[in-house]
């Protein structure tokens, strides 16, 4: 099963993404707890693109392709913005005290926590982020 959603780089479109993920997960027979986690991981990855791929006030698109196979669910997130590798970012340190803990930096950390593999590639002037979740 293959499904594609294309969004503008506008975070107000995030609710459309949630509908898309719910639909993909339902079709693939994914249970509700994992559906909730995938919603979170894909939102974080897509918002990251919306925030960094295109300069402020420049319109651009984010394409999300979902590929459901028997043992694996794959999401390929691509954009034509500036080269940006979110996987190069260091993980958040979740053991820090309240005083030391920075306010942000959890987005990509959550993607890594939830998905089984996260890979970035720059091809044909596009950023391509491939996220995989094993279903078995």
Partner 1 sequence: MMKTSVTEENGMLIAAFEGRLDTAAAPQTEKDLAQVCENKDLDIVLDCTKLDYISSSGLRIFLSILKLAKANGRHVSVVGLNDDLRNVFSMTGFINLFDIK
Residues contributing to the site for partner 1 (CB under 8 A) = 11-15, 18, 33, 36-37, 39-40, 43-44, 47, 92, 94-96, 98, 101, 103-104, 106-107, 109-110, 113-114
Smallest separation (angstroms) from partner 1 to the CB of 33: 6
Shortest approach of partner 1 to residue 121 CB, angstroms?
24
Task: Enter the DSSP assignment of 59.
Answer: -
Burial of 90 (0-12, 13-18, 19+ CB in 10 A): exposed
Please provide the DSSP assignment of 92-114 as one string.
P-TTS-TTT--S---HHHHHHHH
Nearest to 82 by CA among 53, 122, 121, 51: 53
Q: With respect to partner 1, which residue has the nearer C-beta, 44 or 81?
A: 44
Instruction: Quote the least distance from Cβ 123 to partner 1, whole Å.
Output: 27
Of 39 and 67, CB closest to partner 1: 39
Cα–Cα nearest to 3, from 73, 67, 76? 67
Name the minimum Å distance from CB 113 to partner 1: 5
Query: Which C-beta is closer to partner 1: that of 94 or that of 123?
Result: 94
Nearer to partner 1, 40 or 67 (CB): 40
Q: State the residue for tokens 């707890």.
A: 33
CA distance 33 to 31: 6
């Amino acid at each position: 099963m293959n499904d594609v959603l294309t969004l503008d780089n506008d975070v107000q479109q995030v609710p459309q993404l949630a509908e898309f993920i719910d639909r993909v997960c339902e079709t693939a027979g994914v249970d509700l707890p994992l559906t909730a986690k995938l919603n979170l991981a894909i939102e974080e990855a897509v918002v990251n693109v919306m925030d960094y791929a295109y300069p402020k006030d420049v319109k651009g698109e984010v394409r999300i392709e979902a590929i459901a196979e028997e043992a694996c669910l794959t999401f390929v997130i691509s954009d034509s913005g500036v080269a940006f590798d979110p996987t190069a970012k260091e993980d958040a340190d979740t053991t820090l005290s309240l005083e030391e803990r920075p306010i942000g930096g959890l987005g990509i950390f959550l993607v890594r926590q939830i998905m089984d593999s996260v890979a970035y590639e720059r091809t044909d002037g596009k950023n391509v982020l491939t996220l995989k979740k094993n279903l078995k």
